Structure 1
Amino acid sequence: MTGAPPRVLALTHVFPRAVTDPSAPFLLTWARALADAGADVGVIAPHDAGLPGRHEVAGVPVRLARYAPPRWERIAYRGEMHQLVRRASGPPLVGALLGALARVVRQEVRRGRPDVLHVHWWV
């Protein structure tokens, strides 16, 4: 690579909360491979109760978007997203999650000016 390393910002609805987390470990492998190849990688994912707003997983900076009070932050990481969104509380929580992620993406784009915004699993 020549010049500054490419800046890659990943947005996903789930990312390992720790190296041992079974939630989407391939995304951590992907992020580490990019970093090992010289890219400046960061991740945005939903917040989960008990975690700080920013932390690192295996050297990958992760910013977590808070979208509800801690006891309501259940959309991601539990393997029941498809069930939760069907409940009466589902659509408002999904709306809050999408709004929080959009806000954090705007903040991080302004702050870091990524070359690539890579979005996972938003189907």
Structure 2
Amino acid sequence: MTTTELIKNIAKSEVLTTTELIEYAEQKVVSRTLAQNDYLTLTLFAFAAGEGISSHASTGDAMIQVLDGEAQITIGSDKFFVSSGQMIIMPANIPHAVDAVKPFKMLLTVVKPPVIG
């Protein structure tokens, strides 16, 4: 029986420390995709201070779980500051942006609606 790897780029059946799964890089945004399909994406990110992801919209709800540091999240015209241990949902189809106030690590979960047709 062949099995499809649903979660990738990470050890299985092993205790892991989330913040150690991705490292900061000077003047960069580093990402590590853990799962990706038509309905769900799980990605770890590490942002150097001052780095970010420009405004864009997604067809799915996007949840940021802050693992380390501090970021400014813009949703529509509203700005939010989030830090380690906090989370925020960026609703589908509303422009949002992410900017690192300090070096910042997050787990991004995007949940998309089913494709009909």
Higher helix share: 1
Higher strand share: 2
TM-score calculated relative to the size of structure 1: 0.25
TM-score calculated relative to the size of structure 2: 0.26
